[in-house]
Structure 1
Amino acid sequence: MITTDHQPNLVSVAVFGEFTLADYKEFEEIVNYKVQFEGPVNLLFDLREMAGFTLDVAWEEIKFSRRHARDFRRIAVLTEDQWLTWSAWISQLFVEAEVLVFADETEARSWLEAAAEPAQ
């Protein structure tokens, strides 16, 4: 199950339990809409409560990342799981966004907000 929230230039997703293909499709729809009307967005992916994911989600994530390689500014991944940290690092091969892993949500949100601030 996932919960989603979107604000200007930000999509937040939290995964609870198993991350299924239906959940991923819901995430894709939101991102496609945001990118179409706002351009590149930041993404906050909270995986702290994720119990696992199905293989079809892993495959869909690879395809999605390749299609949206330039559609993200920054991607913050919230997790303490080493496997997911490694997976986030690997995803950088498919997207041009900055990808960082955080254990603290406040730090993750601050990092994402800093990308939205105009350069001085």
Structure 2
Amino acid sequence: MISTDHTGNQVAITVFGEFTLADYREFEELVNYKIKFGGQVDLLFDLREMAGFTLDLAWEEIKFSRQHAHDFRRIAILTEDQWVTWSAWVSQLFVDAEVQVFSLEEDARNWLGTAAEAA
């Protein structure tokens, strides 16, 4: 299950339990809308409560990232899981965005806020 929040050019996603393909499709729809009507987007992924993800979601994430390689400015990922941290760095291969991993939400939001101020 996911929870979404969006303001201006920022989209925040919080994942609870297993991150499924249906959840990812909801995320994609929101991000596609924001990109279409507002240009580049900053993302905040809160994965601290994520229990895992499905393989079809992993494949969809790769395809989506490649299709939107230039549509993100900054991507902040909240997690304390080393596997998620490693996969975040791998994701940088597919997007031009700056990607940072944080353990504190305040730090992530502050980092994203500096991007919004500069835009």
Deviations, residues 84-103 of structure 1 (Å, cap 9, x unaligned): 00000000000000000000
What residue number does 2:59 align with?
A: 59
Gaps of 5+ in 2: none
- Of all paired residues, the percent bearing the same amino acid is 75
Kindly state the Cα deviation for residue 75 of structure 1 after the two structures are TM-superposed: 0.1
TM-score by length of 1: 0.98
What residue number does 1:96 align with?
A: 96
Aligned pairs (5 A) from 1:34-49: 34-49=34-49
What residue number does 2:108 align with?
A: 108
Kindly state the Cα deviation for residue 14 of structure 1 after the two structures are TM-superposed: 0.2
Moved over 3 A (4+): none
What residue number does 2:18 align with?
A: 18
Matched, 1:30 2:27: no
Matched, 1:72 2:57: no
Partner SS for 1:117:
helix
Q: How far apart, CA to CA, are the structure 2 residues paired with 1:2 and 1:30?
A: 12
How many residues were matched structurally? 119
Deviations, residues 37-95 of structure 1 (Å, cap 9, x unaligned): 00001000000000000000000000000000011000000000000000000000000
Matched, 1:84 2:84: yes
TM-score by length of 2: 0.99
Gaps of 5+ in 1: none
The code of the aligned residue for 2:82 comes to Q
Partner SS for 2:95:
coil
Kindly state the Cα deviation for residue 118 of structure 1 after the two structures are TM-superposed: 2.9
Kindly state the Cα deviation for residue 113 of structure 1 after the two structures are TM-superposed: 0.4
Partner SS for 1:16:
strand
The code of the aligned residue for 1:30 comes to L
Q: How far apart, CA to CA, are the structure 2 residues paired with 1:9 and 1:111?
A: 14
What do you get for the CA RMSD once the two structures are aligned?
A: 0.8
The code of the aligned residue for 1:33 comes to Y
The code of the aligned residue for 1:110 comes to N
Partner SS for 2:118:
coil
